[in-house]
Amino acid sequence: MDKSFGIVNDNMKKNRKYKSHNNIGNRISGTSNFFINLLFVFNCILCIAPILLIIVISLTDEKELLVYGYSFFPDKFSVKAYDYVFTAGDTIWRAYGVSILVTLVGTLLSVLVICFYAYPLSRQSFKYKNFFSFFAYFTMIFGGGLVPWYMVYTQLIPIKNTIWIMIVPYLMNAWYMMIMRTFFKTTIPESIIESAKIDGAGEFRTFFVIVLPLCKAGVATIALFCTLGYWNDWWLPLVFITDNKLYNIQYLMYQTLNSIQYLASGSAQFSESSKVLADLPTEGARMAIAVISIGPIIFAYPFFQKYFIKGLTIGAVKG
Amino acid sequence: MSKESNITVIKPNVNKGFLYEIKKNWALFVMLVPGVLILIINNYIPMFGIVISFKRYRFHGNFISSIIKSEWIGFKNFEFFFKTPYAFTITRNTILYNLMFIILGLIIPVAFAILLNEITNKRSAKVYQSLMFLPYFLSWIVVSYLAYSLFSIESGFINRGLLSAFGIEPVRWYFEPKYWPFILTFFQLWKYTGYNTVVYLAAISGLDTEYYEAAEIDGASKLQQIRFITIPLLRSVMVIMTLVAVGKIFNADFGLFYNVPRNSGQLYSVTDVIDTYVYRALRNTNNISMAAAAGTYQAIVGCITVFTSNFIVKKIDRDKALF
Amino acid sequence: MSRTKKIYSVALLIILVLSLTLSACVPVVPGGGTTTTQPDTSGQTGPAVKLTWYLVGNRQEPDTPKVLAEANKYLKDKLNVELELNVFGWGDDYDQKTNTALAAGEPIDIVFTASWAANYNVNATSGYFKELNAYIEKYPAIKDILGEDFLNGSAINGKNYAVPTNKEKVHNWGYLLKKDLVDKYDMDVSKITSIESLEPFLKIIKDNEPEITPVCIATMDAPFQLLDWDRISDDDVPGALYPDNRDSTIINHFLAPESIEHYELMRDWANKGYIHQDAATMQNQSELMKSGTFFAASQSLKPGKDAEVEATTGIEWVQVDVTRPVMSNRETTGALLAIPAASRNPEKAFQLIELLYTDKYFKNLIDYGIEDVHYKKVSDNVISLIDPDNSPYNPGHGWKFGDQFKDYLMDNEDPAKWEKFLEFNDAGLVMNSLGFMFDKTNVETEISSCKNVVQAYYKQLFTGAVEVAPTIEAFKKELVGAGVDELIAEMQRQYDEWRK
């Protein structure tokens, strides 16, 4: 019963090679290779084109957008949108800073919490591993609702409106924990731990000096997930942040999309303040913010990719 | 119970109890503390909010006393929820979309992974993989911007660039429900296919080469190898991925269903799911009791689904069950 | 198997016990209890009382801290309070934050509320807002300024849970026409006296100006509004009276003969190419008008509206009033300030609200910022922004609270704006329903279901995008399924009772 969430395929364990099996010689024919390549080229275009489109839009002259619509090949380029975004005050830079800070601190802490939780559960000798596995797993399928959850963070531990509220709720994630647990289980033989014990190393020492370095790929995988989770989050600020200095970049995007819509949607008859509408970011600027928000996460990708596939192979797959 | 567990349950410990364990493995328990604390704070305490779904919530001083003093109305809130003509629509949408995502999210990535693995030029395979992975990195907010740039009726690329080039009348995308099951499925797949492909690709590259060597000696064709070796060996991964998804079959991806259709009223019949409906109801009426009832309904049915599917999987193949 | 089961049941038990003990601790934690309510510090001494104010708007202006620092210097002597002002975005953002905070009983002191933001009616009847009648009697300035009638107009079952802004109390509807085109074709706009009498002018545009779309429609900003139904509830809830006090029968105005006739007219216009194809998807009329490719837009009007929209769009407009000015519930619940039940200093909060009605300096400070930093005085009552293009404090709050007639005027505005406002107010026909506040408690489900149906249909009908007869058929059927008959009956019952 100790493999409560995973499956160990006996055959997989015997011989662990990460090489692709078609290196051996049995290759597919040239024609099918061509068509498979074609399929993937098409698919890649499908994946990239919309992203290219918003980049082009962000660089298109505003008037042209309003009159001729969005196009991959506009007649008139303009960097006005970026100009606007960069000079419209420090709001966007501050939001950017918040996002970076939250992502860095959050990822670091989250990886630590998850690894700490996963490690004892991966140990054969740990008696309560099933209980604690279930304790985590249950949170994936059962929840209590928005308002009570909100209450916890406003009354029990009042971190609403601080940078921590964008970090703490995502620190623990049952699914990542399970991946990490499997990773530990398959990568670290109990014998290594035993021998470390005999050498007089404590559990923490063993964990940091022996276990973690061996599990770099797994840690990188989890770190990537966490980075994405923190960077792309707009829900926590929507619920908890009332101080505009703490808005993150996603939430800022959510807002620019929203406010422009709402101003004109039926309720505007109450507004005499329509003058400010002229100052709001228009189409191009909105797309520019989207482009800017994608930036760092794309750059982070190659950095993690090195370990990512390996991490997934062992963590999620070998279960 | 698997073979292994019989070996690893260390008999002498069985009678010694919790305190003994703590003393012996104190360091391991210390490691668990942060995670346990966060789960309690973030997940377990709020579970008591379920009580709200059985009450008519009215404000009395503060939240806790409001819960206590609010009138107990039993299943009235659930009745309210199910009485709306939308209860059926949104439940149906939630389940059908999730089923679609589960099935396509299984077939397409597995197929892609197998094909990608067969490509002779490894470098281009790597490039494909990286590019296909890219959408996974974007938030739903950004995806909604992308969707709008394509489907906007007045300015969107599809109407202005594609359809007009072929002389086709522009389509009023955000007001034609019939297209949206496809559009939403497309964006869901668009975002997650790359990621899932990588998962299965990783699984394939982890497979034992001996099988293929043996198969080749027996003269098995490439297709036969895929059918009789790759797919059966991938089954455990597929089962885990699917089981996890099935557990969330009652929870829709809020980001997708809320942001991508731009909350367009005409589309509700095909884009509204439980989560978006509850969110809107909360915004329109601030009735947290009804919202809580819908949440409870979701959680309980979700729970039942997981346990049932896990039970079925266990019946078929004990080793592949989630717990 | 049995072992597994046991583990799970033990697990569940522990979870339950654990969370029970923990949740039992919650009320003890400071910050939640009513018992912690501090007595209002009556004197001006001692530490200032902190007041939190939630307001809807475009954004938190960058210079808000500066303005608040200035305001707090002033308020310290006046009321011994320290104000914290939070502005949240229109729509989701504001509703999400305010509604959650109200339900959780967070000690906020002042919130903006209306029929369209942090829904006044719902939040008041759910007990989230404090009853203000006692304060209104104790500090009568607000009642004096607003007039008893107008103030009562926002009361629910005779109780005031919020106070409305003193601004124009009347509205009418009409068109804004692009001035250069009006001049070019020498149009006689005085001929436009109804929705349909605009048509000849649309034809001129359609025939001569291929680049221009004759009519601009986006969501609720549609000619439909010119029918000016006296709605009983929100914009998207069926149930209204005729806007001429002809009777007291509440009807489903979306399906009234006049409305259906109007949908047919719009269908006709759409077929003639007067309405742009994707009108039903457009969210932002203002932005469309800015593009300069539209000729006519239906608008809620008031004196000086054309000048105001000119400032927004950079395009000159001609204002054509069509409907007669009326005073309805639309105005009484258009912009209000409430004090949440969880506020710890309701009296101070009310005194602060009162200042917004009585204190010209304070009101203008919040509206326009600090003199010589954010604006310059041109004359006694006229100002100009120092940096109009990129002002760090130009929130446009004027109409959201207090007495708008105390606001300075911008230099491009009609110096007689406020006098015209008053004239406009006097010209209004007072709706019989003024002051009737529909209590939604009994029909919450019907309302939310009907809203859903209306939101799924109105845009196509308003923009003539669909054949009217079959759509109406389906619309009607769905509305009946959503309980529209029960809803209208309940409205009628309450209305009859109220009229007695």
Query: What one-character-per-residue DSSP string does C149-182 give?
Result: HHHHHT-BTTB-SEEE-BS---BEEEEEEEHHHH
Share of chain C above pLDDT 70, in %: 87
Q: Assess contact for B281 and B287: CB atoms under 8 A.
A: yes
Shared domain for B144 and B276, answered yes or no, is yes
Burial label for C372, CB within 10 Å (0-12, 13-18, 19+), is: exposed
A175 part of a folded domain:
yes
- Other chains touching C, judged by 3 or more CB pairs under 8 Å: A, B
Contact C287 A260 (CB under 8 A): yes
Q: Both tokens of residue C456?
A: 């799924």
Residues A229-256 have a mean pLDDT of 86
A48: in domain? yes
Report the number of distinct structural domains present in chain A: 2
Contact A7 B319 (CB under 8 A): yes
Residues 6+ apart with CB under 8 A from B227: none
Check CB contact of C219 with chain A, cutoff 8 Å.
yes
- Report CB contact under 8 Å: B207, A5: no
Q: What is the token pair recorded at B72?
A: 């107990």
Q: Is residue A307 part of a domain?
A: yes
Q: What are phi and psi of C223, to 5 degrees?
A: -55, -20
Residues B247 and B301 in one domain: yes
Band of the pLDDT at A275, cuts 50, 70, 90?
A: very low
* Mean pLDDT taken over chain A: 77
User: What does CATH list as the number for C172-324?
Assistant: 3.40.190.10
Of A310-314, C191-195, C240-244, least confident by mean pLDDT is A310-314
| pLDDT reported for residue C169 | 83
Q: Which of B32, B130, B296 sits opposite A116 (nearest CB)?
A: B32
A98 band by pLDDT with thresholds 50, 70 and 90: very high
pLDDT digits (tens, 9 = 90+) for B184-210: 999 999 999 998 898 888 888 777 778
Q: How far is A188 from chain C (nearest CA, A)?
A: 26
- Amino acid, res. A184: F
> Which amino acid makes up residue C56?
V
* Contact state of A261 with C10 under an 8 Å Cβ cutoff: no
- A115: domain CATH number is 1.10.3720.10
Q: Is residue A245 part of a domain?
A: yes
Q: How many CB atoms lie within 10 A of CB C158?
A: 9
Whether residues A58 and A190 share a domain: the answer is: no
Q: Within this chain, do residues B186 and B48 fall inside the same structural domain, yes or no?
A: no
Residue A273 banded pLDDT, cuts 50, 70, 90 = very low
pLDDT in tens, B49-97: 888 888 888 887 777 777 888 888 888 888 877 877 778 888 899 999 9
Residues C266-300 have pLDDT tens digits of 999 998 989 877 677 666 677 677 777 889 999 88
B149 and B288 in a common domain: yes
- Nearest-CB residue to C22 (from B1, B45, B84): B45
Distances (CA, A) of A81 to A61, A67, C43, C290, C475: 8, 17, 53, 17, 42
Sequence-ordered strand ranges (E) for C370-461? 375-377, 382-385, 409-410, 429-430
First vs last C-alpha separation in chain B:
10
Mutate to test the interface with B, among A13, A16, A20 (most CBs of B within 10 A): A20
C88: nearest Cα among A266, B145, A239: A239
Where in the sequence is the domain holding A102, given as residue range(s)? 90-317
Decide if C281 and B61 are in contact by the 8 Å CB cutoff: no
Tell me: pLDDT of A218 over 50: yes
* Co-location of B300 and B167 in the same domain: yes
Residues B103 and B220 placed together within one structural domain of the fold: yes
DSSP state of C371: B
Any idea where the domains of chain C sit in the sequence? 46-168+329-435, 172-324
Band (A315; pLDDT cuts 50, 70, 90): low
Q: How confident is the model at residue C122 (pLDDT cuts 50, 70, 90)?
A: confident
- Most confidently modeled range among B307-311, C10-14, C462-466: C462-466
Residue A23 has pLDDT above 60, yes or no: no
Instruction: Give CA–CA dist C215/C289, Å, rounded.
Output: 10
Arithmetic mean of pLDDT, C467-486: 91
Whether residue B198 sits in one domain with residue B165: yes
In this structure, are A189 and A293 located in the same domain? yes
> Does C334 have pLDDT greater than 60?
yes
- Give residue C469's pLDDT: 92
* Nearest beta carbon to residue A120 from set B32, B43, B149: B32
- What confidence tier does C357 reach under pLDDT thresholds 50, 70, 90? very high
Q: How many of the other CB atoms lie within 10 Å of CB of C226?
A: 20
User: What is the per-residue pLDDT for C199?
Assistant: 93
* Contact call for residues A168 and A240 (beta carbons, < 8 A): no
Q: Is the pLDDT of residue A201 over 50?
A: yes
Residue scoring higher pLDDT (C470 or A64): C470
Burial class from Cβ neighbours inside 10 Å (0-12, 13-18, 19+) for residue B105 reads: buried
B86 and chain C in contact, CB less than 8 A: yes
Residue A98: inside a domain, yes or no? yes
Same-domain pairing of B157 and B180: yes
Are residues A94 and A74 both part of a single domain? Answer: no
- Look at residues C353, C349, C361, C350 and name the one whose alpha carbon lies nearest to residue C406: C361
E strand or H helix at C299: strand C294-301
Are A166 and A288 within one domain?
yes
Q: Indicate whether C32 pLDDT > 60.
A: no
Using an 8 Å Cβ cutoff, are B70 and B57 in contact?
yes
Residues A50 and A107 in one domain: no
- For the cut 90, the answer to whether the pLDDT of residue B251 exceeds it is no
For the domain bounded by C46-168+329-435, which CATH number is listed?
3.40.190.10
Q: Which range is most confident: B158-162, B201-205, C128-132, C392-396? A: C128-132
Whether A260 shows a pLDDT value over 50: the answer reads no
Which pLDDT does position A257 carry in this prediction? 66
| A51 plus A173 within the same structural domain | no
Contact of A68 with chain C, judged by CB distance below 8 Å, is answered with no
- Same domain? For B150 and B118 the reply is yes
Q: Where are the alpha helices (DSSP H) in A142-241?
A: 146-151, 174-187, 190-198, 203-205, 212-214, 216-231, 235-240
pTM of the complete model: 0.78
The whole-angstrom separation of Cα B144 and Cα B261 is 8
Same domain, A55 and A194: no
C386 vs C64: CA distance, rounded Å: 16
Residue ending a domain, among A45, A78, A111, is A78
User: Over chain C, what is the mean pLDDT?
Assistant: 83
**Residue B264 sits in a domain of what CATH number?**
1.10.3720.10
Bridge-based pairing state of the strands C81-89 and C49-57: parallel
Name the least confident of A175-179, C86-90, C130-134, C254-258: C86-90
Locate the chain A residue with the closest alpha carbon to C1: A1
A18 part of a folded domain: no
Q: How many CB atoms lie within 10 A of CB A313?
A: 25
Same domain, A280 and A160: yes
C-alpha torsion angle, residues C301, C307, C311, C315 (rounded to 10)? 90
Position B320 scores a pLDDT of 63
Checking if the pLDDT of A8 tops 60, the result is: no
Q: Taking 50 as the threshold, does the pLDDT of residue A266 lie above it?
A: no
Instruction: Indicate the DSSP class of residue C251.
Output: B
Domain boundary among A78, A107, A141: A78
Question: Residue B227 belongs to what domain range?
Answer: 83-320
For the stretch B41-62, pLDDT in tens is: 999 998 888 888 888 888 877 7
- Considering CB atoms only, which of A4, A48, A119 is closest to B31? A119
Chain C residues in contact with B57 by the CB 8 A cut-off are: 103, 126
Write down the pLDDT at residue C311.
Answer: 65
The reply to whether A264 falls in a domain is yes
* Closest CB to C18 among B40, B84, B266: B40
Residues A183 and A292 in one domain: yes
ipTM above 0.95, yes or no: no
- Residue C46: φ, ψ to 5°: 80, 175
